[in-house]
Structure 1
Amino acid sequence: MPADWSNGLCSCFQDCSTCVMTYFCPCYTAGKTAEAMGENCVLHAIACYLPLVGMICRSKIRSKIRESKGIEGSGCGDCLSVTFCSLCTLVQEAREVIDPGSQTMARE
């Protein structure tokens, strides 16, 4: 049975610190989330500010998180979420890879 995201797309405010950090510095959240998924933190942080490249990189990370957690969805849905709900998806993805014991982003 496919899993679902542990946090809803619009439940950003359940973790105010991640929400505030993402609002003021989305590149940090994007980089740390990518790093938790085994990708290069700096490249994904920089890509966050490049419109088309950022959208492709963010969609890739979102798909990678979905696949690793067995979450139902599609690449098209990932792309649409990243494009139209950018900050909400960043918070959702970051919260998905947070280590629940320490409340810090997990590192692989």
Structure 2
Amino acid sequence: MYPAKPTVATASEPVTGMAAPPVTGIPISSPGPAVAASQWSSGLCACFDDCGLCCMTCWCPCVTFGRIAEVVDRGATSCAAAGAIYTLLACFTGFQCHWIYSCTYRSKMRAQLGLPDVGCCDCCVHFCCEPCALCQQYRELRARGLDPALGWDVNAQKAANNNAGAGMTMYPPTAQGMGR
């Protein structure tokens, strides 16, 4: 009298005889490995731990910044290019806005290394004491085995030589452009 009820599969019963629907949509890559939180190896006001670096940063902050930027960008930005942009921003804005450019690299570095804020945002640190912030970043890279004075290529090569066969994760190669 009543028609038979169609068979409905539940979550515990797999549907047999039916093909799975095609996968559609945009693939979402899984986020990279979480960076373990760590602490800064030196304080913001520990500039005199390395007097040479302190002097270089006070008189030529573009050099210190350029070196940091090259390592943080993993060679995508050269020391000379980053230093030149920093210098041009400083000169054309009357030394008022160059810290905005450098604070972006502090944020990148903190994200890459899992470093905490030092009590205020990165822009505030660079605005209030640009030389101290640059010195702290430079010292942090050194403390983690990267020498900004050598540039990214030499640091990457040293890491590859030191870690050959050790199973450590290396940074991916940087994007290459066309050159003459």
TM-score range, shorter chain: 0.7 to 0.9
Q: What amino acid does structure 2 have at the position aligned with 1:62?
A: R
Q: Does 1:10 align with 2:45?
A: yes
Shift in alpha-carbon separation, 1:41–1:73, aligned structure 2, 3 A = same
> Which portions of structure 1, spanning 4 or more consecutive aligned residues, are displaced by more than 4 angstroms?
none
Separation in 2, partners of 1:20, 1:100: 22
Q: CA deviation at 1:93?
A: 0.8
Separation in 1, partners of 2:138, 2:72: 10
Q: Does 1:93 align with 2:137?
A: yes
Long gaps (5+) in structure 2: 1-35, 90-95, 157-180
Q: Does 1:35 align with 2:59?
A: no
Equivalent residues of 1:9, 1:89 under 8 A apart: yes
CA RMSD of aligned residues (A): 2.4
Q: Does 1:81 align with 2:119?
A: no
| SS of alignment partner, residue 48 of structure 1 | helix
Considering Cα pairs closer than 8 Å and 6+ residues apart, tell me whether 1 or 2 has the greater RCO. Answer: 1
Separation in 2, partners of 1:15, 1:100: 16
Long gaps (5+) in structure 1: none
Report percent identity of matched pairs: 35
Q: Tell me the residue number matched to 2:112.
A: 68
Separation in 2, partners of 1:40, 1:64: 16
Instruction: Point out the structure with max Rg over C-alpha.
Output: 2
Judging by fraction of residues, say which structure has more helix. Answer: 1
TM-score for the superposition, normalised by structure 1: 0.82
TM-score for the superposition, normalised by structure 2: 0.52
